[in-house]
Amino acid sequence: MAEIVLDQVSKRYPDGALAVSEVNLTVADGEFIILVGPSGCGKSTTLNMVAGLEDITAGELRIDGERMNERAPKDRDIAMVFQSYALYPHMTVRENMAFPLRLAKVDDGTVRRKVEEAAQVLDLTEHLDRRPSNLSGGQRQRVAMGRAIVRDPKAFLMDEPLSNLDAKLRGQMRTSLSRLQKKLGTTTLYVTHDQTEAMTLGDRIVVLQGGNVQQIGSPQHLYDEPANLFVAGFIGSPSMNFLPVTVENDRLSTPLGSVPLPDRSRTLLSAADAPRELIAGIRPEHFEDAALVEDHLRDKGHTFTGTVDVLESLGSEKYAYFELEGEGPQARQLADLASVTGSADEGGGPRQLIARLSAATRAKEGAELDVWFDPAHILLFDPDSGRNLTRAE
Amino acid sequence: MTTTEPDRAATRPGTGRHAGKPRREDTTPAPAGTGGGGGGSRPVDPGGNGGRGGRAAMSEGKRAERRLGWLLCAPAALVMVAVTGWPIIYSIWLSLHRYDLRLPDQQEFIGLENYIVVLTNSYWWTAFWVTTLITVISVAIELVLGMALALVMHRTLVARNLVRTVTLIPYGIVTVVAAFSWFYAWTPDTGYLAGTFAPDGAPLTDRAASIAIIILAEVWKTTPFMALLLLAGLALVPDDLTKAAAMDGAGPWQRLWKVIIPVMKPAILVALLFRTLDAFRIFDNIFVLTGGANDTSSVSMITYNNLIRGLNLGIGSAMSVLIFISVAIIAFLFVKLFGAAAPGSTGERGR
B129 min Cα distance to partner chain A (Å)? 36
Residue A214 and residue A291 in one domain: no
Residue A181 and residue A257 in one domain: no
Q: Which of A195, A229, A263 is the last residue of a domain?
A: A229
Residue A244 and residue A261 in one domain: yes
- What are the mean pLDDT values of chain B's consecutive 10-residue runs (351 residues total)? 39 40 40 38 41 59 91 92 90 88 82 88 91 94 93 81 84 90 85 77 82 92 92 90 91 91 89 90 90 87 89 90 92 78 41 33
Instruction: Report the percent of chain B where pLDDT is more than 70.
Output: 80
Phi and psi at residue A91, in whole multiples of 5°? -120, 155
**CATH number of the domain where residue A368 is located:** 2.40.50.140
Taking the C-alpha atoms of residue A272 and residue A290, their distance in angstroms, rounded to an integer, is: 34
CB contact under 8 A, B250 and A104: no
In angstroms, what CA-CA distances link B23 with B30, B40, B50, B127? 14, 14, 14, 47
Residue A142 and residue A247 in one domain: no
pLDDT digits (tens, 9 = 90+) for A294-313: 888 888 888 989 899 999 99
User: Does a structural domain hold residue A142?
Assistant: yes
Q: Name A26's bridge partners.
A: A5
pLDDT digits (tens, 9 = 90+) for B61-106: 889 999 999 999 999 999 998 998 888 899 999 999 888 888 878 8
Question: In terms of residues, how long is chain B?
Answer: 351
**CATH number of the domain where residue A30 is located:** 3.40.50.300
Taking the C-alpha atoms of residue A58 and residue A69, their distance in angstroms, rounded to an integer, is: 9
pLDDT of residue A147: 93
User: Does a structural domain hold residue A386?
Assistant: no
Residue A14 and residue A144 in one domain: yes
Nearest to A51 among B18, B238, B247 (CB): B247
User: Does a structural domain hold residue A391?
Assistant: no
pLDDT of residue B241: 93
For chain B, give every domain's residue range: 65-114, 121-341
Q: In sequence order, what E strands does A325-367 have?
A: 351-358
Taking the C-alpha atoms of residue A384 and residue A294, their distance in angstroms, rounded to an integer, is: 38
**A123-130 average pLDDT score:** 92
Residues 127-166 of A with CB under 8 A from B: 129-138, 140, 147, 157, 164-166
Interface confidence (ipTM) of the complex: 0.82
CB contact under 8 A, A89 and B249: no
B198 at interface of A, judged by CB pairs closer than 8 A: no
Listed in sequence order, the residues at least 6 apart from B333 whose beta carbon sits closer than 8 Å to its beta carbon are: none
pLDDT digits (tens, 9 = 90+) for A160-193: 999 888 888 888 889 989 999 999 999 999 999 8
Using a CB-CB distance cutoff of 8 angstroms, which residues of chain B are in contact with residue A80?
243-244, 247
pLDDT of residue B113: 87
**CATH code assigned to B121-341:** 1.10.3720.10
Q: Which of A229, A253, A286 is the last residue of a domain?
A: A229
Would you say A370 and A303 are in contact if contact means Cβ atoms under 8 Å apart? yes
CB contact under 8 A, B16 and A104: no
Domain count, chain A: 2
Q: Which of A165, A195, A229 is the last residue of a domain?
A: A229
Instruction: Report the percent of chain A where pLDDT is more than 70.
Output: 97
User: Does a structural domain hold residue A390?
Assistant: no
Range of the domain at A302: 236-381
